Amino acid sequence: MSTSTSTSTTTSTGTSAGVTPGTAARTRPPAGGDSGRITPRAHLRHIGALVRRNALQIKQDPESMADAVLMPIIFTLLFTYVFGGAISGEGNQDKYVNYLVPGLMAMMGLSISMAVGTGINTDVNKGVMDRFRSMPIARSSILIAKIVVEVGRMTVAMVILLGMGFLLGLEIKTSVLELLAAMGLSLLFGASLMWIFILLGLALKTAQAVQGMAMLILLPLQFGSSIFAQPSTMPDWLKTFADHNPLSNLADASRALINGGELASSVWATLGWAAAITVVTAPLAIRAFQKKT
């Protein structure tokens, strides 16, 4: 009788789940998410679940959207009324809006993408990534989900930026489709920049260090470009830097899509920069993330 009971107990705890304790480790996908053993469909499912997780975090902490909501309002008002009169003449700030807003679309991509680096750094230091390490998911899905959510925040910032632009006199001289193309180009370039900030977030020890290093990158690229003023008005050494600055290419492409004008060279240059940045930094970021976790 006792033998029968023991056998029954063993069956209910071991084989009722379809595996025995000794084979559970062999049948479960490897922890850490070896992407070579995870199907593309499963990979997409993991990304979707992680995107929902990150979106819920924003819902629980609405203040995390403050930069995406307030930055475009403050920057549009500030730069229009500080630089507009000096560049377009006193009382002609409305003319400057059509020059400024496409440039600020490029700036939004850089500014918002910085947040992904501090977010990754905070998650690593708080041990959140240790939880992910025990799950059978690809490492890259965690990073891609972060980028998807930040692209969503960037979209919100650009919609608000364009709304402010229209209030201040922005005119679309081409078409709605070309306006959407300008937004898409800015989002694509911003997504490529996120890999750089992810790499910084994994390489540096604190979120404050990530933010400080990001600002050192951000300020020269923003102000040494055609975002706020024509490079032709700059000293030769700064003009050379601005002409080769990828943000200048993006700002010029956005202006051509919104205001009309020469388009091909700046668009192709922006796409080339986005592809090059992604190809170089994405594998480095994923490798650094694998080592970190």
Q: What 8-state DSSP symbol labels residue 64?
A: G
The number of beta carbons lying within 10 Å of the beta carbon of residue 86 is 11
**pLDDT beyond 90 at 241:** yes
What pLDDT does 24 receive?
40
For the entire predicted model, the pTM comes to 0.80
Rounded CA-CA distance 190/35 in Å is 25
Instruction: Dump pLDDT digits (tens) for 43-82.
Output: 788 888 888 988 888 888 888 888 889 999 999 998 888 8
Q: Are 254 and 225 in contact (CB under 8 A)?
A: no
Identify whether the C-beta of residue 168 lies closer than 8 Å to the C-beta of residue 104: no
* Entry field: residues in the chain: 293
**For residues 101-140, b (16+ Cβ closer than 10 Å) or e, as one string?**
bbbbbbbbbbbbbbbbbbbbbebbeeeebeebbeeebbbb
**Which of 160, 198, 204 is CA-nearest to residue 72?**
160
Overall average pLDDT of the 144-161 stretch: 93
Among 244, 291, 293, residue whose Cα is nearest residue 272: 244
Write down the domain spans for the chain: 38-292
pLDDT of 284 higher than 80 = yes
Q: State yes or no: pLDDT of 3 exceeds 60.
A: no
Distance CA 286, CA 34 (A): 12
Instruction: Check pLDDT > 50 for residue 11.
Output: no
Compute the distance between CA of residue 123 and CA of residue 120 in angstroms, rounded to an integer.
Answer: 5
Decide if pLDDT at 140 tops 70: yes
pLDDT at 90: 67
Q: What is the DSSP letter of 149?
A: H
Residue 226's pLDDT band (boundaries 50, 70, 90)?
very high
